[in-house]
Amino acid sequence: MLRLEGVVVHYGAVEALRGISLEIETGSITALIGANGAGKSTCLRAISGLKRLTKGEIWFEDNRMDGLKPERIVKMGITHVPEGKRLFLDMSIADNLLTGAFLRNDTEAIRRDLDRIYDYFPALARARSRPASRLSGGEQQMLAIGRGLMSNPRVLMLDEPSLGLSPILTQEVASIVKTISEQEGLSVLLIEQNASVALSLASKGYVLETGKVVMEGNASELRDNEHVRKAYLGIA
């Protein structure tokens, strides 16, 4: 569905991605794990058009998409929920969600999608008129995911959705992501430093180290891999 072929990205003289290739299958959750600075966020920025490729290709179905503007990529059905939520804190929850539908003009479908988001996240429904600044950290993360869903994506890219959350809230957000993927057939590309959570959700995973894919495979196989267990799961 979505694939990267030999993607190279630079920040000045620094090579952040070093010829990576990966594929996200329709209706699946794919995990991308690695240490800080491994290039995980750069990968998402390259896919979403926020970072120009030095070399390589990115394809969505039969359409080559590297070099397209970010808004065109969103219209194709690929949405990026960045690390750190990036909410409009002074705006209401409802208005934050509606910003996710900015490029859409199907008014009735937008209304239905808004109701669907409130079904997924009842805490947002109860406080829809309140400013986003009054939400807890977990609720703000739910709002960021909900806003991404309002663009009506076919691929949802999530960058560290559990960052700063308690273990209980991390599991709650993870459960919601899995439910959404299963119920809507949504493909998810998930970046997580919490490799245990990422690999428990995903069907397939990639391990990124210093800008290169060093390992890939079935998520359960990666969980059992000795290197992954020692380096990312904290299991000796």
Residue 80 is part of a domain; what is its CATH number? Answer: 3.40.50.300
- Segments forming the whole domain that contains residue 135: 2-231
On whether residue 61 sits in a domain, the answer given is yes
For residue 235, pLDDT over 90 is answered with: no
Q: Would you state the pLDDT for residue 236?
A: 57
Strand ranges inside the chain, DSSP E: 2-11, 14-24, 29-33, 55-60, 63-64, 78-81, 155-159, 187-191, 204-209, 212-218
pLDDT in tens, 21-66: 999 999 999 999 998 899 999 999 999 999 999 999 999 998 999 9
The runs of H, that is alpha helices, within 20-136 are 40-47, 70-76, 93-99, 107-120, 122-126
Question: Is 236 part of any domain?
Answer: no
Q: What is the pLDDT of residue 159?
A: 94
Q: Is residue 17 part of a domain?
A: yes
Q: What value does the mean pLDDT of the chain take?
A: 93
* Interval 198-221: pLDDT, tens: 999 999 999 999 999 999 999 999
Query: Tokens at residue 174, please?
Result: 């993870």
What is the rounded distance in angstroms from the CA atom of residue 77 to the CA atom of residue 1? 11
pLDDT of 83 reads 87
On whether residue 98 sits in a domain, the answer given is: yes
Q: Check pLDDT > 80 for residue 224.
A: yes
**Which pLDDT score is estimated for 86?**
87
pLDDT category at 168 given cuts 50, 70, 90 is: confident
**Starting from the edge strand earliest in sequence, which strands make up the sheet with 63-64, in order?**
14-24, 2-11, 55-60, 63-64
Residue 18, domain member (yes or no): yes
Residue 225 lies in a domain: yes
- Domain count of the chain? 1
Neighbours of 215 (CB within 10 A): 16
Strands 204-209 and 29-33: parallel
CA 5 to chain centre: 19
**Which residues touch 126 (CB under 8 Å, ≥6 apart)?**
none
Q: What is the pLDDT of residue 75?
A: 94
Q: Count the alpha carbons within 13 Å of 39 in the hemisphere toward its beta carbon.
A: 26
- Give the least confident one: 58-62, 112-116, 175-179: 175-179
| 194 vs 93, residue with greater confidence | 93
Q: What is the pLDDT averaged over residues 165-187?
A: 88
Residue 152's pLDDT band (cuts 50, 70, 90): very high
The reply to whether 103 falls in a domain is yes
Angle, to 10 degrees, between the axis of helix 167-184 and the axis of helix 137-149?
20
